[in-house]
């Protein structure tokens, strides 16, 4: 990622702002009515460029997702506050665990990290369901032994799918293994 000189960025913002306001960027005098700086298309473009430059300045002159890159890893110590409330899907469990962190400071836990680890370690399996005519994810016997199950469901729109659910034991298993899953 490239970082731009913030001083030059301020100068560019000043010039673009003046053009957007229909003024000469150098001496800040009002431009003549027939001047190109008073063309509506030029003015709209300059306001757009100004907005982009303001965002670049707010991002300390860095183009890209520098704010996400600077986020700290999920604070594992917050897992000690976990409390079971009800059986739920992995998405809802991640929402519960992520609710305890400041998302502006820390990276959120992803359900994908958990499910990929569970697949890699033989708890979940991806297979073709000939009856449904699509790939599905199912809980293995190993998963069922730790409280992770699947059941066939029908959505409100009539689509059939397998729902993977985590009971108290399954959720505690995930929480206990999260450090390994994240690493």
User: CA 165 from chain center: how many Å?
Assistant: 23
- CA-CA-CA-CA torsion sign (151, 156, 161, 167): negative
> Which residues of the chain fall below pLDDT 70?
1-2, 64-69
Instruction: Judge contact between 162 and 140, C-beta under 8 A.
Output: no
Instruction: Tell me what pLDDT residue 44 has.
Output: 84
> Cα separations (Å) of 178 from 11, 80, 104?
48, 12, 21
Instruction: Quote the CA–CA distance of 93 and 175 in Å, as a whole number.
Output: 9
Instruction: Tell me what pLDDT residue 172 has.
Output: 97
Instruction: Tell me what pLDDT residue 54 has.
Output: 83
pTM: 0.62
Instruction: Tell me what pLDDT residue 181 has.
Output: 94
Instruction: Tell me what pLDDT residue 67 has.
Output: 47
Instruction: Quote the CA–CA distance of 23 and 16 in Å, as a whole number.
Output: 10
Q: What is the pLDDT of residues 105-144, one digit of tens each?
A: 898 999 999 999 999 999 999 999 998 899 999 999 999 9
Domain ranges of the chain: 6-69, 76-182
């Amino acid at each position: 990622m490239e970082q731009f000189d913030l001083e030059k960025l301020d100068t560019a913002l000043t010039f673009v702002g003046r053009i957007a306001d229909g003024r000469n960027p150098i001496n800040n005098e009002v431009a003549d009515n027939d001047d190109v700086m008073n063309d509506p298309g030029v003015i709209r473009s300059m306001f757009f460029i100004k907005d982009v430059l303001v965002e670049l300045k707010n991002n300390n002159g860095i183009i890209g997702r520098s704010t996400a890159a600077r986020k700290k890893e999920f604070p594992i110590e917050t897992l000690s506050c976990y409390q079971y409330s009800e059986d739920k899907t992995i998405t809802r469990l991640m929402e519960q665990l992520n609710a305890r962190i400041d998302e502006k400071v820390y990276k959120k836990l992803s359900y994908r990290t958990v499910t990929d680890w569970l697949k890699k370690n033989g708890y979940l399996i991806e297979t073709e369901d000939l009856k449904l005519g699509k790939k599905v994810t199912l809980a293995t016997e190993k998963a069922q032994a730790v409280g992770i199950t699947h059941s066939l469901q029908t959505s409100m729109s009539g689509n059939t799918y397998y729902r993977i659910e985590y009971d108290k034991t399954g959720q505690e298993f995930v929480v206990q293994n999260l450090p390994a899953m994240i690493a």
